[in-house]
Amino acid sequence: MSAKIISGTEIAKQIREELKAEVAEIKEKHGVVPGLVTILVGENPASVSYVTAKQRTAHDLGFHSIQDNQPDDIKEGELLDLIEKYNNDESIHGILVQLPLPRHINESKVLYAISPDKDVDGFHPVNVGKMVIGERCFLPCTPHGILEMLVRSGVETSGAEVVVVGRSNIVGKPIANLMLQKREGGNATVTVCHTRTRDIAFHTRRADILIVAAGRPKVITADMVKEGVVVIDVGVNRIGKTPEGKAILCGDVDFDAIKEKASAITPVPGGVGPMTITMLMKNTVQAAKQLAGIA
Ligand code: GUN
């Protein structure tokens, strides 16, 4: 049997419709227009394409949006000053610095400089700490998007064996944490596998829900999953270019083989990617409401 395809594109579209209505309402009732700045340092092609997609979505939703491009050789102090400028700008509610940053810049220092109230990426330690103890905060966009996909697709997470492959700060650690919280989309029993795990397949074969953010193309093969598993593929690997110069993408799982065994699976592209961007928009609306005192 072929798996149900969990379309991030479709779910994201639905959430964007909801957000569009919310943006129109807060604008009309309170005169508040959500403001988002995305700061891009250098010209990494993947980062350029992510930031462009974020800006396009913000614009479509009626946000006040600024794309702030900075040269590769910007000094750390200059970047920190720029963030401080946006921290103090009342028309801006969300600040995103696209990662990775050039090596001469201390990433933690930059992320810590963003006001936690405008940290729509959910990377500031104040928000990370609140997430861990289950307090209201900005949730990191990719894990937040995964939760929404599972909940809106009717996947039962309570009591489920969830296996996460990857332990990054952006995906692996936060999704593992969120799925064990006492909340909708949580209450799971969570195992995290990483590069030092002795036998990854032993764990992945036990998974009712398998979340893969390994950053390597097709590392999860069909023999590593059980019948009926729900697979969330976070990988975005550029494996070539079309004759027109467009990137050819594939995920971290062997989609074609695994879809014959899984009960549900996310595609790449069109799975987690559109959800990540949409949750950034949701966080920005939340930030605007909180900063305006209408949340
Ligand atoms: N680089 C890869 N993913 C992300 C993300 O979610 N936010 C930011 N700021 N940079 C990223």
Residue 99 and residue 200 in one domain: no
Residue 44 lies in a domain: yes
Residue 59 and residue 100 in one domain: yes
Q: Is the torsion defined by CA of 145, 151, 153, 159 positive or negative?
A: positive
Residue 259 and residue 174 in one domain: yes
Domain CATH number, residue 163? 3.40.50.720
282, 120 in Cβ contact below 8 A? Answer: no
Q: Report pLDDT for 295.
A: 87
Q: How confident is the model at residue 139 (pLDDT cuts 50, 70, 90)?
A: very high
Q: What is the pLDDT of residues 105-135, one digit of tens each?
A: 999 999 999 999 999 999 999 999 999 999 9
* Catalytic residue IDs: 54, 98, 121
Q: Share the mean pLDDT of the chain.
A: 97
Residue 153 and residue 250 in one domain: yes
* CA of 112 relative to ligand 1 center, distance in Å: 15
Decide: residue 249, CB within 10 A, 0-12 exposed, 13-18 middle, 19+ buried.
middle
Q: Report pLDDT for 113.
A: 98
> Which of ligand 1's atoms lies nearest the C-alpha of 47?
1
Residue 159 and residue 250 in one domain: yes
Residue 146 and residue 268 in one domain: yes
Domain CATH number, residue 42? 3.40.50.10860
Residue 157 and residue 241 in one domain: yes
Residue 108 and residue 145 in one domain: no
d(CA 137, CA 154): 24
> Which of ligand 1's atoms lies nearest the C-alpha of 276?
6
Q: Give the SS3 label for residue 264.
A: strand
Residue 224 and residue 260 in one domain: yes
d(CA 43, CA 20): 30
Cis peptide leading into 100, omega within 30 of 0?
yes
Residue 5 lies in a domain: no
Residue 59 and residue 164 in one domain: no
Q: Whose CA is closest to atom 4 on ligand 1? A: 99
Residue 206 lies in a domain: yes
Residue 202 lies in a domain: yes
Q: What is the pLDDT of residues 67-109, one digit of tens each?
A: 999 999 999 999 999 999 999 999 999 999 999 999 999 999 9
Domain total of the chain: 2
Residue 147 and residue 268 in one domain: yes
Q: What is the pLDDT of residues 262-294, one digit of tens each?
A: 999 999 999 999 999 999 999 999 999 999 999
The amino acid present at 155, given as its one-letter code, is V
Check if 38 has its Cβ closer than 6 Å to any atom of ligand 1. no
Q: What is the pLDDT of residues 40-74, one digit of tens each?
A: 999 999 899 999 999 999 999 999 999 999 999 99
Tell me which of 36, 50, 107, 141 to substitute to probe ligand 1's pocket, judged by most ligand atoms within 8 Å of the beta carbon: 50
Structural domain for 60, as ranges: 32-116
Q: What is the pLDDT of residues 160-207, one digit of tens each?
A: 999 999 999 999 999 999 999 999 999 999 999 999 999 999 999 999
Q: Whose CA is closest to atom 8 on ligand 1? A: 98
Report the run of H or E that residue 44 belongs to, with start and end: none
Residue 14 lies in a domain: no
Residue 155 and residue 256 in one domain: yes
The answer to whether residue 1 scores a pLDDT higher than 80 is no
d(CA 181, CA 187): 6
